[in-house]
Structure 1
Amino acid sequence: MIDPVALASRLIACPSVTPEDAGAIDVIAEALEAIGFTVHSFWAGDTPDGPVRNLFATRGQGGPHFAFAGHSDVVPAGPGWGTDPFTPVIRGDLLHGRGAVDMKGAVAAFIAAAARIPDHQGTLSLIITGDEEGPATHGTLALMAWMEERGIRPDLCLVGEPTSAHRLGDTIKIGRRGSVNMWIEVPGTQGHVAYPHLADNPAPRLIRILNELDGWTLDTGNRWFQPSNLEITDIAIGNPATNIIPGVARARLNIRFNDAHRGADLVEHVRQVVARHAPRGTVEARISGEAFLTEPGRLSTLVTDAIHRATGLEAELSTSGGTSDARFLSRLCPVVEFGLCNATMHKLDEAVAVADLHALTDIYADIITHALQG
């Protein structure tokens, strides 16, 4: 048997700030090999976003194939912690340390759950990356490519993100909105403010572009998703002088969009707006992920039933919040997300209730048991 609190503590002690591994994958591999998993780990990518260490572990064979996905990396701790963020400490009923909630606690709970079920039908696997909190270019995508080369494809996948809002088990995620960042540049001609006819000020055109985009209603939401939203996140001219018309004006925006849209279509719309107001303007875009939805069905029922048996709660099915690696894994199979309470994730003195780690282990063990019944 594996104690999820002890294993989570060992993982917290690894300062695995993206893309550093700091021994976290070795801790996971050791625990999995001890309970009969075959473990494969590899490095992917290069600087500045890597290298990233990834792990795929499997036990059993044939179908059904149930996978757990998670990450061993964490965000930087920052100053102001009450104790060393990478020295796990239990104060009262809470285990403190960076990654306790997001998401070393869930990884530890799932491994502990798997240890309780040494004999099962089908295949149980873990997909663990060291690049979820960062650019996510050398992590889950690299694992998916590795799996595709070997013909590995799960039937169902559970991602251990901290989805619970107020109590463990009150919320699971059955989808996520997509995200796209765009950088707009409007060129002009620098000149003296007293001689505007000899210059071309790009600022008014950028203002008109942003005004039109700010007034754009993308949609009104639907059954599972809130309305899509566009947010202007930066405006930059960088003009240190009071008597110079600037030569260029720039802005950055982000759109969080539901499944009524595709990222490429949103980028094209912004490009058309820019072209109307600034024919020489340019738009660079990076689509972090498309929106996805796993329609309520067998997988969500497996999770909600296990939660109800353990806690008595009726979990809410939600698509709120930011993005996760489920946006990639949804290309393989149905995916839902369920994990610990998220109140302290990415915050100072991040902490998880010790009782929640044990309860999550119970729930994960129930999910595994029913998922592998075929």
Structure 2
Amino acid sequence: MFDDLPAPDVQSMMAALSRLVACATPMPPGDGYGAFADLIETQFATFGGTATRVEVPTDLWHGPGLSGARINLLLTPDLPGTKGLPEALIYFHTDTAPAGDGWSVPPFTVTNRNGKLLGRGTADMKGTIVAVHDALTRLSHSGAGNMVYRPVLAFCTDEEGGRYPGIRHLAETTRLPDVLLNLNGSAEPRIWAGCVGSYDITVTITGLASHSGEPQRGVNAAEIALPVMLSLQDLKYEVELRETALPAPPWVDGPLRARLNITAIHAGDKGSAIPGACQFTINRRYTAEEDEAAVLQEIRATIAAQLDTSAALDWQMQVTGHLPPVSDPDGSATGRWTRARARAFDLPESAFTRYGSGTSSDFGWVQKAGLRHMLLGGLSRPDRNVHAADEFTTVQDLCELSDAIAYFLADIP
């Protein structure tokens, strides 16, 4: 039996979170992974155990705007009472969205605003790292009790975009535990039912730059792109009629659907020059019921119908990011994780609702590699400004996640 489990150490969590947020890891470009791995190893060194770094080969992930080594870190802490136990992998992605505009506080400094902890990555998902560290510290201080799992911690790259997220590389090259706990999820009472897939597709149109006073000497790539984007808007209406059987979140009006959005556009630099190149990015959320190859072919055909007869000198379509869907992730530990969270949140198990998501997960690659059973938790909530200005988590959510991890890993009366 465990001795009394200490209360969460809020001050230590806040201090650790400040260090993690200050070690900026925006993706793109993704050039901060090495320094972040150094910091994580230092913060978890008190537990002992093993540390392994796995680097993704450059040719698998490299793309426009990306730089730096893709360093993934696997830690197996040496906790009392865990030798010989079945392993449970606890997953974190170490990149964040770029800071972006509109912040009321410095984005890479944690600001405590009446229990709200603002900063890029506090909710998505560096706060989860300090909550797990707190849970492991509390279990270590409670003696060698009835542990159920030996935790393996996976700190992974390129969840926020790119062609080859770190957890994919680990799943395809490394033997991972059968129980996978993904903390890139919600702090709400939810049982994960899966999610849709996502393609990022970058289209590059090549024209010919010229002085805007003599446009006949050039080929305006921006103007050529306009009818292409209008055709994609027509396709958008068709795509977004497609529904999935995945159960929708309780706050969504109607079923989950496929999505198509133009998410980035760039052409030209000043008013006196005809742009010789235009590049735009499409994000296509696709359902498990759709065929991956057909999704890409539909977009390519829509673009080609406009560009193959245009004045463009050349055009290219490149997949710059891909996350497959996650389907039916339930397994042997689903009930245990739900009970642990219910106890941590002081809620009945009946309060937990099973639903999916219109957002996507790099764990789709893990399922493609053959591992089906996945759990989801974390610090995100609809109001937490994830990927937006003034992202935040709360002290309460950090403490409840620490409790849930402790209850999941151990039998605590």
Helix, strand or coil for the counterpart of 1:87? coil
Residue of 310, 335, 347 corresponding to 2:374? 335
Distance 1:76 1:227 in 2: 27
Query: Contact 1:32–1:39 (CA<8 Å) still a contact in 2?
Result: no
What is the aligned partner in structure 2 of residue 160 from structure 1? 183
Q: Report the secondary structure of 1:319's partner residue.
A: strand
Cα 1:77–1:252 change in 2 (3 A) is closer
Check the 8 A contact 1:62/1:122 in 2, yes or no.
no
Aligned length: 353
Deviation (angstroms), 1:178: 0.7
Which amino acid in the other structure matches residue 299 of structure 1?
A
In 2, Cα distance between the equivalents of 1:37 and 1:154?
Answer: 17
2:199 matched residue in structure 1? 180
Distance in 1 between residues matched to 2:307 and 2:133, nearest whole Å: 55
Give the 3-state SS of the residue equivalent to 1:50 in structure 2. Answer: coil
1:139-158 matches, within 5 Å, as: 139-146=166-173, 148=174, 152-158=175-181
Counterpart position of 1:53: 71
Matches within 5 A, 1:275-354: 284-286=317-319, 288-311=322-345, 312=347, 314-330=351-367, 331=369, 332-342=371-381, 343-354=384-395
Quote the Cα distance in structure 1 between the aligned partners of 2:162 and 2:316. Answer: 20
Q: Supply the distance in 2 between the matched residues of 1:204 and 1:353 (Cα, whole angstroms).
A: 44
Distance 1:93 1:279, change over 3 A: closer
Residues 251, 216 of structure 1: CA spacing in aligned structure 2 closer, same or farther, 3 A cutoff?
Answer: farther
Match of residue 123 from structure 1: 150
Shift of 1:127: 0.7
RMSD over equivalenced CA pairs, Å: 4.0
Q: Cα distance, 1:279 vs. partner?
A: 5.8
CA distance in 2, matches of 1:39, 1:321: 35
**1:1-374 equivalent positions in 2, closer than 5 A:** 3=9, 4-17=13-26, 18-21=30-33, 23-45=35-57, 48-59=66-77, 60=82, 62=84, 64-78=86-100, 81-118=103-140, 119=144, 120-135=147-162, 137=164, 139-146=166-173, 148=174, 152-164=175-187, 169-183=188-202, 206=228, 209-210=231-232, 213-217=235-239, 219-224=242-247, 226-233=256-263, 252-273=281-302, 284-286=317-319, 288-311=322-345, 312=347, 314-330=351-367, 331=369, 332-342=371-381, 343-369=384-410
2: distance between equivalents of 1:101 and 1:300? 23
Query: For residues 38-89 of structure 1, what are the alpha-carbon distances to aligned partners after superposition, in whole Å with 9 as ceiling and x for unaligned?
Result: 1123544557332133210124555522110002232333455444333334
TM-score, normalised on structure 2?
Answer: 0.70
| Aligned residues of 1:131 and 1:139 also touching (Cα < 8 A) | yes
Q: Is the 8 A contact 2:326 2:364 kept in 1?
A: yes
Task: Output the CA distance in 2 between the equivalents of 1:255 and 1:145.
Answer: 25
3-state SS in 1 of match to 2:409: helix
Calculate percent identity across the aligned residue pairs. 26
- Segment drifting more, 103-112 vs 92-101: 92-101
What stretches of structure 1 of length at least 5 have no aligned partner?
Answer: 195-200
Greater alpha carbon shift after TM alignment, 345-354 vs 274-283: 274-283
Normalization by structure 1: what TM-score? 0.77
Matched AA of 2:186: T
CA distance in 1, matches of 2:185, 2:149: 27
Give how far 1:154 is off. 1.0
